[in-house]
A and B are shown apart, each in its own frame.
Chain A
Amino acid sequence: MRIMKRSSNINRRARGCVIIVAVMLWALNAVAAAPPKDSCIACHSTLPGQYGQPAKLFSADIHHQVGLSCADCHGGDRNDDSMNAMSPSKGFRGAPTKAQIPEFCGRCHSDPSYMRKFNPGLRTDQVSEYLTSVHGKRLKQGDSKVAVCVDCHSVHNIRAPSDPRAPVYPTNVAETCARCHADANYMKGYRIPTNQYALYKKSVHAAVLAGGDTSAPTCSTCHGNHGATPPGVSSVANVCGTCHAMNEQLFEKSPHGAAFAKMGLPGCVQCHSNHEIVKPADSWVGTDPKSLCLTCHVKGDNGYAAAQAIGGGLDKLKAAYHDADAVLDTAERSGMEVSSARVELSSAHSDLIKARVAVHSFNAADVLKITNQGVDTSHKAYEAGIAALHERNYRRKGLAIALIAIVIAISGLYFKIRQMERST
């Protein structure tokens, strides 16, 4: 009995110890979980204007989100509540001048071992790339109007480039560049056009990007981002060829490739322009008045003959495709099953796309080989559509005959019943 009582007391004491330890651990945890002291934010958030704004913006900044504070960039002691926190003896660097900004950011962003702690996949060559750009070179020459890191990425509320609210998110890049490049007053003295943004907004690239495809090209896709430099005449095809690889290869091998290089003409841009790259039309190729071929070629030369053949081939394929498509549409509306013919016709559509790419070889035989194949496929689909329409008419005739037979049978039964019931 006594033993049992003692054991119960020991249990009670042990339970008490466990509770005390748990409370202490909870308190320690609460202290550890509390945000670290930040005298910069505490003071600056109460200040008006330019002294208070950074502290107010900083909560939205990617640096704040990964645990960095004002002192990590500007130096000083965030644990010190006095003005002494901003003493040079505490490592305070203050705000950099515009010319100092690339190196200021580069202190961390050019240090792979430091950056690895936050984002191991992030490149660390932005500053060295920037220094090769027109912006970087002019900054070194003392031009303080050129863009530095904060002009594009913003400051104190810097967001990750993958954040749709960031000024460098693909759909916002053109507007960010246009803030300076579309401002004629600001760009005065640089002797470069300021209509690039207006032209780009009309382009097929801007339309695709606005449609939600963030892989569509914007300013930085062709010009680079940190190493922003206008592509020269010789490198234009390389820039376009990054995405339009087949077109580039065919163009380079074509008679135009060598001729354009010799004359110093920019390859792709010559026909497609640079910023205002509108959706190409088939009428650009051929001998119609709208044809771009006629800019250089005249009746009688080889180029004119090739343009005529290529334009004719494309027109023939389009006409055959549209005829087949219309017949299959009619058959489908009549409830006929023509899905196999539809699949076949889709390969004719692929041929049309391939032929449009093959145009860049400017070789009539190569283009016609593809268009003729598409025309044959379209004809087969057209025949299948016509056969389906014949089948539909056959069914309707059969239905008419069957309905006549049914009406005769029903009438016969009706008269039989009448005759039967009259006689009874």
Chain B
Amino acid sequence: MAGLKRRFVDWLDERLGGGSIEEFLRHKKVPIHRHTIWYYFGGMALFLFVIQVLTGILLLMYYRPTASGAFESVQFIMTQVKFGWLIRSIHSWSANLMILIVFIHMFSVYFLKAYRKPRELTWVSGMLLFFIVLAFGFSGYLLPWNTLAFFATKVGTDMAGFVPFIGKWILVFLRGGNEVTGATLTRFFGFHVAVLPGLATLLLALHLLLVQRLGMSVPPGVEKKIKEGQEPERSMPFFPNFLLRDIMGWYGALGVLGALAAIFPWELGTKANPFGSAPAGIHPEWYFLFMYQTLKYLPAKIFFINSELLGLMGFGIAGAIWVLVPFLDYKTGFGKVTRFFTGLGIFALGYIIVMSVLALVG
């Protein structure tokens, strides 16, 4: 068995060239310190993304992206297809879990200042991946074509219409017309299974390449202590030590997903009726709640300007600042931790949590 493995690795080395894979795996190290736990969230997000891809492919075999067939096909998957309920429930739960893990990964990277020089591009590619994950959530939510999804998409795409000058064009582009119809469903299906996966794969490859190229970042506080000799520099090999720990986490995630799918199968609701009235208490998915609640608090007009437009502009500027943080907080790269950006991160996290809770209880 060992001989066969050796021969296979040699065979690969001979063809791929550029040094031994084994060598690469042996030399890749993961730092050990009191914040090591946060390193696992990136791998967890990747694992959940793979689950999404696999379950998504299986769902594709039965799903029909038309207004007349979408709801019925998901109903068929949930009731008639062997283990269809499991695949669909895992796909939906895993999507939500992935977004949660991506949020945690993003904030852990932010607070550990892992975006500092020379990892600016890793942060930017990660942020773009984060936006793509949100777009995956938004586009996938409509696909079962149920009442809640229909009206949430209507409200969500209405928001796009508030963008100055090109808002109307974006709205028509997203909806495939002026209203949310079967054309919107087909369009969102295209985004969800072709455009977004393509973009995500490219960005993921870049993100992982940068992580491999630059290695894991050690937080400035820990780095300082190591330099001053107050703490020893410790690490573990990525393979197999770190990877085996990663796999333990993935098994755990699989167990949680299975339990959620079996005990709380993802609801299907009622089929969307474009001529019906919106159900009471309609709200977007939990990861958009903080924006939704903010817009709810704004008055109709602020200085004669539509408040939705102002709200969207505010979030646009905040998002842009967030993406550009490595360049704005460039001093951290030279070992000077700026309290302002730590405070900004705490404010952003607090704001998201408080607004989401208010939306859920209100």
Q: Which residues of A contact B (CB under 8 A)?
A: 335-337, 339-340, 395-396, 398-399, 402-403, 406-407, 409-410, 413-414, 416-417, 420-421
Contact = CB atoms under 8 A, between A and B. Distances in A.
Interface stretch (B20-28, B254-262, B301-309, B313-321): B254-262
A337 B79 contact: yes
A410 B252 CA distance: 8
18 contacts: A337-B75, A337-B79, A337-B85, A337-B265, A337-B268, A395-B85, A395-B86, A399-B262, A403-B255, A406-B252, A406-B254, A406-B255, A409-B251, A410-B252, A413-B247, A414-B248, A421-B236, A421-B241
B7 interface: no
B248 A396 contact: no
Nearest to B254: A406
A420 B240 contact: yes
B264 A413 contact: no
B265 A336 contact: yes
Contact of B262 (A339, A340, A398, A417): A398
Contact of A339 (B240, B264, B268): B268
Interface of B: 75, 78-79, 85-86, 236, 240-241, 244-245, 247-248, 251-252, 254-255, 258-259, 262-265, 267-268, 270
Contacts of B86: 395
A148 B127 CA distance: 80
- Interface majority SS (helix, strand, loop, mixed), chain A: helix
Contacts of A420: 240-241, 244
A341 to B, nearest CB: 10
Contacts of A416: 244
A420 to B, nearest CB: 7
Given A335-B264, A395-B262, A420-B240, A402 B245 contact: no
A336 B78 CA distance: 9
A413 B79 CA distance: 36
B85 A406 contact: no
Nearest to A403: B255
A342 to B, nearest CB: 10
B263 A335 contact: yes
Contacts of A403: 255, 258-259
A333 to B, nearest CB: 11
Nearest to A335: B265
B244 A337 contact: no
A413 B265 contact: no
A333 B349 CA distance: 34
Contacts of B240: 420
- Interface majority SS (helix, strand, loop, mixed), chain B: helix
B258 A335 contact: no
Contacts, number: 57
Given A335-B264, A410-B251, A413-B247, 17 more contacts: A335-B267, A336-B265, A337-B78, A337-B79, A337-B85, A337-B268, A339-B270, A395-B262, A398-B262, A399-B263, A402-B255, A402-B258, A406-B254, A406-B258, A410-B252, A413-B248, A417-B248
Contacts of B251: 406, 409-410, 413
Contacts of B255: 402-403, 406-407
Contacts of A409: 251
A197 to B, nearest CB: 36
A49 B252 CA distance: 87
Contacts of B244: 413, 416-417, 420
A417 B268 contact: no
Contact of A340 (B79, B241, B245, B258): B79
A384 to B, nearest CB: 10
Contacts of B241: 417, 420-421
B75 A396 contact: no
A396 B263 contact: yes
A398 B255 CA distance: 12
B141 to A, nearest CB: 18
A396 B264 CA distance: 11
A407 B248 CA distance: 9
A50 B264 CA distance: 74
A139 to B, nearest CB: 49
A414 B78 CA distance: 36
A410 B75 contact: no
Contacts of A406: 251-252, 254-255, 258
Nearest to A332: B267
A173 B310 CA distance: 52
A413 B243 CA distance: 11
A337 B86 CA distance: 12
Among A395, A402, A409, chain B packs the most CB atoms within 10 A around the CB of A395
B237 to A, nearest CB: 9
A403 B260 CA distance: 12
Contacts of B258: 399, 402-403, 406
A399 B261 CA distance: 9
Given A399-B258, A402-B255, A410 B268 contact: no
A417 B245 contact: yes
A127 B236 CA distance: 102
Nearest to A398: B262
Contacts of A417: 241, 244-245, 248
A209 to B, nearest CB: 24
Nearest to A411: B248
B242 to A, nearest CB: 10
B352 to A, nearest CB: 29
A336 B86 CA distance: 12
A89 to B, nearest CB: 63
A340 B259 CA distance: 25
A155 to B, nearest CB: 42
A410 B248 contact: yes
- 10 A-B pairs with the lowest CB-CB distances in the bound complex, closest first: A399-B262, A335-B265, A406-B255, A337-B78, A395-B262, A413-B248, A410-B251, A406-B251, A337-B79, A410-B248
Contacts of B259: 399, 403
